[in-house]
Structure 1
Amino acid sequence: MKLIIQIPCYNEAETLEVALNDLPKKLNGIDQIEYLIINDGSHDDTVEVARKWGVHHVVNFKQNKGLAKGFVAGLDGCLKYGADIIVNTDADNQYCGEDIAVLIKPILDGEADMVIGERPIDDTEHFSYVKKKLQHFGSWVVRKASNTNIPDAPSGFRAFSRDAAMRINVVNDYTYTLETIVQAGREKIAITSVPIRTNAELRPSRLFKSIWGYVKKSVLTILRAYMMYKPLMCFTLLSIPSVAIGLGIGMRFLYFMAVGSGSGHIQSLILACTLIIVGFLTFMIGLVADVIAANRKILQDVQYHIKRMEYEMPVFDNKEKGKKEGVSEIYYFNAENDEKALIK
């Protein structure tokens, strides 16, 4: 059983070594542990710190692409390097490395394919009162949207089985935390959570720069994810108010017609017809979106099987082999032989 611990990094030279030192070197039920960082266009010595420490693999972006893309690239790298279990943690040492054993236990026991670490939010001193309440409210919204029971949805401390990692898709550019839970719930990926501990704050959060900015982006992420997986229900709910108001106004017009004064309320008829048509068109959009969602599921299944075939192939061990297959802008370092391995 091989575990790879991945850490997304953007200018983390000051805190990365502390986070790496806190990670476990041996775990029960795990035969091999490797470490991978995602260098998201850092301008400092993040990569040098990682290589000096002995990190096995580095996924390197030439420019900053955001946390979500870095997370997906990290999963891809871990799968290519043969990980059976993947743990994602932060470079600011927010999460306690010893709790990785607790985090992966449900996967080792065959109880789950995705595990979220639940932070003690109410006891976290560097979280403001407003932030704590927003964390709780946001997690409640995600639970309703995903039909799961995850108490700490924004937590980045999470573990994935190999199968779950191959099924995960992230389409937004902001963060992976909320969308992946909605996807797991709607795609019936076995997901659970376990209580974990946190360490003292080394630096302020870079994702939570503005409370209202974070709320706005999180709401849009949740809505977009929900519309992807439940489009018919979403657009049906959107169409109901328009149709209901239109029918109400239409009945009002019929009443005036019945009492002989309908000619003076022709505007009500026009408004009623307009609202009913808008509601009907909204519902039709939902039908089309539902067909597209069904097609997306088929494409995801195809992608999953392609990934299974791809990841059974050996990893390129030098640059020339990578060039023969066609390469992307993502490239990997293997710290053991210090060779750059370009991977398609």
Structure 2
Amino acid sequence: MKLIIQIPCYNEEKTLPMTIGDLPTSIPGVDEIEYLIIDDGSSDRTVEVARKLGVHHIVRFPNNRGLAKGFMAGIDACLRVGADIIVNTDGDNQYNGHDIPKLIKPILDGKAEVVVGDRQTDTIEHFSPTKKKLQRWGSGVVRRASKTNVADAPSGFRAYSREAALKLNVISEYSYTLETLIEAGRRKEAIANVPIGTNEKLRESRLFKSMWQYVRKSGSTIIRTYTMYKPLKIFLNLGFIMFLIGFIIGCRYLYFFFNGEGAGHVQSLILAAINIITGFQLGVLGLLADGIAANRRINDELLYRLKKMEYDGVVLRSQGKDEERKEDA
């Protein structure tokens, strides 16, 4: 059983030693533990520090591409070197690395495919009351959208089984946390929550400039991801609302028309027609979008199979070379 702990980094030369120092070197049930960092275009000594700390794998971007791109690049690299379990943590030492054995236990026990670390945000002292409320609200929205029981949806401290990691396909360029949960929930993957600890805040978040920017971007991610998986429901509901409004306005016009006052309410007739036509068009768009969503599910399955063949083939070839070296020795 091979565990790889991946750490997305952007100018983390000061915090990376603390992050690496907190990570476990042995866990019952795990044969190998390796570390991997994703250098997202850092301009400081992040890579040099990582090498001095003995990090096993380094993925480098020439410029900053964002958390979502870095996360997926790390997943890709972990799968290529044979990871059976992948843990994602942050380079700012936000999460307590000593909780990793607890985080991966549901996967080792075969009870979960994805495990999310619950920071219990209400207990975090440096979170403002507004941030705590928004965290609770956002997690509640994601639970409804994904049909899961995830307590802390924005948490980036997560563990993935190899199969779950192979199925990841992040489209968002902002963050992966909400999108991957909705996708996993819609695929009916087994998702578990594990209470975790957090460390003292070392720096401000670089993911967003303000709380409202975070709310706006997170909201758009939730809506877009949910719409990709349930387009027919979204468009039919919107279409029905528009049609119903048009129908009510149309009935109002007919009332006046049959009472000889129709000439003074032509605007109601126009508004009714616009709403009914818009409702019908939204219904048609829903059918088209549902066809596109079905095609996406097929593409996701094909991509999963291609990844499985490619990554498993790379791992088998690597194992074969290792055995040859042992025989030669």
Fold conserved (TM > 0.5)? Answer: yes
Which residue identity is paired with 2:107?
I
Residue identity opposite 1:159 in structure 2? A
In the alignment, what sits opposite 2:270?
270
Q: RMSD of aligned C-alpha atoms?
A: 1.5
Matched residue type, 1:37: I
- Name the SS of the counterpart of 2:5 in structure 1: strand
The CA deviation at 1:314 is 2.6
8 Å contact kept, 2:120–2:152? no
5 Å-filtered alignment, 1:129-148, equals: 129-148=129-148
Q: Give 3-state SS (helix, strand or coil) of 2:30's partner.
A: coil
Is the contact between residue 179 and residue 222 of structure 2 (CA under 8 Å) also seen in structure 1? yes
Separation in 2, partners of 1:198, 1:240: 46
Who is 2:256 aligned against? Answer: 256
Partner Cα distance (1:70, 1:5) in 2: 14
Partner of 2:196: 196
CA distance in 1, matches of 2:71, 2:273: 48
Counterpart position of 1:334: none
Partner AA of 1:282 in structure 2: L
Which is richer in helix? 2
What's the CA shift for 1:308? 0.6
Displacement of 1:26 in angstroms is: 0.1
Unmatched 5+ stretches in structure 2? 318-329
**Residue of structure 1 in register with 2:53 after alignment:** 53
Deviations along 1:246-300, one digit per CA (max 9) or x if unpaired, are 0011001111122122232222111101111011111111111100000000000
Q: What SS does structure 1 have at the residue aligned with 2:51?
A: helix
Instruction: Tell me, yes or no, if the aligned pair for 2:4 and 2:86 is still in contact at 8 Å.
Output: yes
Pairwise CA distance, 1:184: 0.6
Task: Give the aligned partner of residue 298 of structure 2.
Answer: 298
Q: Which whole-Å CA distance do the structure 1 matches of 2:100 and 2:208 have between them?
A: 24
Give the letter aligned to residue 199 of structure 2: N
Taking the aligned partners of 2:129 and 2:241, their CA distance within structure 1 comes to 36
CA distance in 1, matches of 2:4, 2:105: 15
Match of 1:111 in 2: 111
CA contact (8 A) 2:40 2:61 kept: yes
The CA deviation at 1:240 is 2.5
CA distance in 2, matches of 1:316, 1:51: 27
Q: Secondary structure at the match of 1:47?
A: helix
- The equivalent of 1:176 in structure 2 is 176
SS in 1 for 2:163: helix
TM-score between the two structures when normalised by the length of structure 1: 0.90
Distance 2:173 2:5 in 1: 22
Give 1:316 deviation, angstroms: 12
1:313 partner SS: helix
Q: How does 1:1-344 map to 2 (within 5 A)?
A: 1-314=1-314
Q: Is the 8 A contact 2:116 2:159 kept in 1?
A: yes
TM-score (norm 2): 0.94
CA distance in 1, matches of 2:316, 2:109: 32
TM-superposed deviation, 1:241: 2.3
CA offsets 1:143-198 (integer angstroms, 9 cap, x no match) = 11111110100000000000000101111110000001000111111111111111
Q: Distance in 2 between matches of 1:284 and 1:237?
A: 12
